[in-house]
Amino acid sequence: MASHVIGPAADIPPGAHCVVKIRGADIGIFNVGGAYYALPNVCMHQFGPLCEGTVNGTTACNAATGWHFAWVREGEIVTCPWHGWEFDITTGQNLARPQIRLRSYPVTVEDGQIVLTLGGGGKEQRETSSTQNA
């Protein structure tokens, strides 16, 4: 595993995100409510620049919304700019196809600096069986 200092945490306040290049790979760094997350800047649909998309919420219709369509999870969803696939920033999971999950990378804040760890911890999944954990 290798740790990489991204920069001051203050530069990516809650709700903000950016894309950095580490070891030749573009990686999106997101601040969701004060917690940092990192995802590859590659959409699993047709390899679009996912992390250059917008961050917002999504619509849901379930028991939590009283079975009415409602806007939920504001600030937790990134939408691919190419064709609109939505991913949960906190887990990397695709919203419409839960069997698809992006690799995620550990991110910490040390002495006010965002530190990204590559080479371990993250796990990219594209599951084909419903018996596997999402």
Residue 60 burial class via C-beta count within 10 angstroms: exposed 0-12, middle 13-18, buried 19 and up: middle
Does residue 80 touch ligand FES according to CB under 6 A? yes
Minimum CB separation from ligand FES for residue 115, in Å? 28
Nearer residue to ligand FES within complex by CB, 32 or 80: 80
Q: Which residues in the chain belong to E strands, given as ranges?
A: 2-8, 17-22, 25-32, 35-40, 54-60, 70-79, 86-88, 100-101, 107-110, 113-118, 125-126
Does residue 62 touch ligand FES according to CB under 6 A? no
Of the candidate residues 11, 34, 61, 83, the single one contacting ligand FES (CB under 6 A): 83
Of the candidate residues 28, 40, 48, 92, the single one contacting ligand FES (CB under 6 A): 48
Does residue 97 touch ligand FES according to CB under 6 A? no
C-alpha torsion sign, points 123, 127, 133, 134: positive
| Residues in touch with ligand FES (CB under 6 A) | 43, 45-46, 48, 50, 80, 82-85
